[in-house]
Amino acid sequence: MTLQRNYILIVFILLLSLPGCYIYINRLKVTEHMPTIHLIKTMKKINLKNIKTSYREMFKSKEHKNTKKPVLEKLNFGFNNINCSYIGVQYFRSRLGNIMFQYASTFGIARENNLCVLMPESVPRKSIDFRSYFHLSAIPTNTGLPIASQSVSLKKGCCIFQNSYMQLNNTRNYTLSGGLQSYKYFNNVQNEIRKEFKFSKTVDEAANIFLRNATPNLNTTLVGIHIRRGDFLKHEEQGFVVPHVSYFNNAMKYTQEKFTNVHFIVCSDDIKWCKENIKPTSVTFSESNEAIVDMAILSKCNHVIMSTGTFGWWAGFLSRGTVIYYKHWPRKGSRLAADVNISDYYLPDWIPMD
């Protein structure tokens, strides 16, 4: 591996000695953004015939005498595109759902503005191995932030769409900040986002094993229920509402009337409370699974009942089925309520319920 890496780097340096390869150092910005492993992967993908062809065209061109930089073919490998400027986001030291919003919205903003996404090798919350959970296409660097970038901050709350983010100058690098918790940032690339958040093989297999053991028969309609309690109980005065058990009963009744052979899958940070209060005739509780496995389990259900919080939001989004949410979040008049526009946060076809 070391010999192969050295060989590739030597070839790259030799290429840079050619006058027509100025574009690589100019556009790749190797010293600015690319770790060695990413540079190696990129060089492996470069078709040297394109370089040869470009030189031939350059010397035939009448304009050759007036230029020192021939125009090579654009090399587009998803976000590994040498012809773009970069965008990154300052990730919160936060939980999984919040980080997913920051990644997805940055991805959507990048697509809208023809920018390339950077991300850090690891997110600030060390207990979350974000990049190992999914198949992400963003370019990994040490910080995940481009240098010589323009900082762009949310002028509104965490969950209010800011259209100015969709109208950036694609000749500049940008560093975003804020929660970016609105589906409107990635509304036009929803299918791509679902591909980005395709679970790793290990997580996917763990979820499949759980569901095989939990599913009564092949004709079962699986309805996932995510119940967030934990820290929200301590911050209700800020607007982080925890739904009453009546909400879950109403939502379960709705799905039982609408679908056939319903079996409920319950994931929560308070399984003890769930077992004492969630009592449909057909139910399985997820116990002792990691949070990322619980999300995969819920996403594989046909439909989702979410309580509050971004974890349940993403479980619903990834499921592609009917999604029911608690209509009294956030608490009216609270500090959080001032930072949320419900129409920017929840998808229009999701169902609000008491």
pLDDT in tens, 143-182: 999 998 999 987 788 999 999 999 999 999 999 999 999 9
**With bands split at pLDDT 50, 70 and 90, how would you rate the model's confidence at 81?**
low
Buried b (16+ CB within 10 A) or exposed e, 230-265: eebeeeeeebbbbbeeebbeebbebbbeebeebbbb
Helix/strand/coil percentages in the chain, nearest 5: 45, 15, 40
What pLDDT was estimated at residue 148? 87
pLDDT band at 25 (very low <50, low <70, confident <90, very high): very low
Give per-residue burial for 2-20: e unless 16+ CB within 10 Å, then b. Answer: eeeeeebeeebeebeeeeb
Angstrom distance (rounded) from CA 23 to CA 69? 7
pLDDT, position 310 = 97
- Which pTM value belongs to this model? 0.78
For 218-235, what is the mean pLDDT? Answer: 90
The number of helix segments (H) and strand segments (E) in the chain equals 14, 13
SS3 85: coil
The answer to whether the bond into 140 is cis (omega within 30° of 0) is: no
Distance CA(34)–CA(229), nearest Å, equals 41
| Domains of the chain, first to last | 2-76 (no CATH), 86-192 (no CATH), 200-353 (3.40.50.11350)
What is the total residue count of the chain?
A: 354
Q: What is the pLDDT of residues 242-294, one digit of tens each?
A: 999 999 999 999 999 999 999 999 999 999 999 999 999 999 999 999 999 99
Neighbours of 271 (CB within 10 A): 16
Query: What is each CA distance from 176 to 42, 73, 80, 100, in whole angstroms?
Result: 26, 30, 20, 15
Closest CA to 296 of 236, 226, 193, 352: 226
